[in-house]
Structure 1
């Protein structure tokens, strides 16, 4: 059972890494153009917080090495994205807004959770439970972020606003980590990833339904890499 759990965890890590590196093309475009254009900083800031909290959970949990490693990688990648966003912000107001949001959530928010659980909770099992509950709640919000994109697809009858590979890897990521959670009996890992698996399945079904529909030509709203400027990033973590 331990060997099966380890193999599933490795597969989950690979899929999660693919999700974490999925915005690289978007940021390559930002660097080339020297501007963040209409892209939003919030999704990357929230994903960084999500990765930091799961990294903390993995380091706190005695057998959480695989959770810690992938989210450690994710935290590094998301930190790079946030820094690049601040550096290449379209204007000064956007830069200040992004910097304040990152400071409040990624530094202040994570700092509060870390300090409260480290110094106020001495019992390890209770500390793991509290951190896990916080991570699970945040991860549910991350997995729920594609709901707006799915609504757009149904309204426009076009899948240009919902990249296939992102939906596909969301589906795989939720499924593999939900399986890992069942075998490891980790409810905090299982609930959000189970929800992610269901939402990923719905996205793929919607994609199949509308994939042959006529594509709208709203090039002013959609990036050359298929990302709508205002769409949230679906970087989900273990």
Structure 2
């Protein structure tokens, strides 16, 4: 019964996390359409990529006991593919890959038992996950300042909430602090995001007019005024 419950929560957690990783596709469609990153930053996605790499490694038999953490491997494996598609700046991805490679090499060759490998990879993964969950704090500050949730998509906040709750539950069931730990921070932050959505959902940041449009408008206005002046000075027949 306990094993069935753990598996059910793991499946739901996988679904919620995949939705969380896929949620930014809406944002990137907007970026592609407008050909501008506007106020969006690639740093949260870089941190997300590192998180997925570390936890995929954590769940593999090299670190964990056999396939005890297989659900973590599946969801973070999908996360790697999605996050890679978001991180399009090579210079941003290099530090992420460097940290992961160093961690993987140390855990493989410097440590020779699963307990110490899990401790190393899990500790680094825990720090990165807490950072990942803390990244929206910057966006939340902007939401409060502008009274608009335009740059904090609701699907992302909802998926973050459900994923955090499910993985915290799963981590507690398997008694793994490195799985449950990040969600202790993730759950209250996700709740705060939802509260901000309820408060500021009607707000919308007014787009600043493009400089070229302003110049064009001024030029057209000047032409109109010139035309009116010439019309006024024309002799009456």
Could you tell me the TM-score, scaled by structure 1's length? 0.79
Residue 232 of structure 1 aligns with which residue?
Answer: none
> Residues 156 and 29 (structure 1 numbering): CA distance in 2 closer, same or farther, change over 3 Å?
closer
Give the secondary structure class of the aligned counterpart of 1:215: coil
1:48 to 2:53 alignment: no
Q: 1:30: how far off?
A: 4.6
Q: Equivalent residues in 2 for 1:135-150 (5 A)?
A: 135-150=125-140
Residue 132 of structure 1 aligns with which residue?
Answer: 122
- Cα deviation digits, residues 113-142 of structure 1 (max 9, x gap): 000111001011111111111111100000
Higher RCO (C-alpha 8 Å, min separation 6): 1
Q: 1:36: how far off?
A: 5.3
Q: Distance in 2 between matches of 1:220 and 1:56?
A: 47
Q: 1:70: how far off?
A: 0.5
1:201 to 2:201 alignment: no
1:122 to 2:122 alignment: no
Q: Distance in 1 between matches of 2:150 and 2:27?
A: 15
**Cα-Cα RMSD:** 2.0
Residue 190 of structure 1 aligns with which residue?
Answer: 180
Residue 83 of structure 2 aligns with which residue?
Answer: 78
Residue 228 of structure 1 aligns with which residue?
Answer: none
- Cα deviation digits, residues 4-28 of structure 1 (max 9, x gap): 0000000000000101111223333
Structure with the higher helix share, 1 or 2:
2
Match of 1:159 among 149, 170, 187: 149
Q: Distance in 2 between matches of 1:10 and 1:74?
A: 15
Where does structure 2 lack aligned partners over 5 or more consecutive residues?
Answer: 211-237
Give the secondary structure class of the aligned counterpart of 2:125: helix
Where does structure 1 lack aligned partners over 5 or more consecutive residues?
Answer: 86-97, 222-238
Q: Distance in 2 between matches of 1:154 and 1:79?
A: 30
Residue 22 of structure 2 aligns with which residue?
Answer: 21
Give the secondary structure class of the aligned counterpart of 1:158: coil
Larger radius of gyration, structure 1 or 2?
2
Q: Distance in 2 between matches of 1:28 and 1:211?
A: 21
Residue 90 of structure 1 aligns with which residue?
Answer: none
Q: Distance in 1 between matches of 2:100 and 2:209?
A: 36
- Cα deviation digits, residues 193-219 of structure 1 (max 9, x gap): 12101110111122212234x433136
CA contact (8 A) 2:24 2:156 kept: no
> Residues 30 and 117 (structure 1 numbering): CA distance in 2 closer, same or farther, change over 3 Å?
same
Worse overlay, 189-198 or 35-44 = 35-44
Q: Distance in 1 between matches of 2:209 and 2:179?
A: 39
1:104 to 2:107 alignment: no
1:67 to 2:72 alignment: yes
Q: Distance in 2 between matches of 1:81 and 1:153?
A: 23
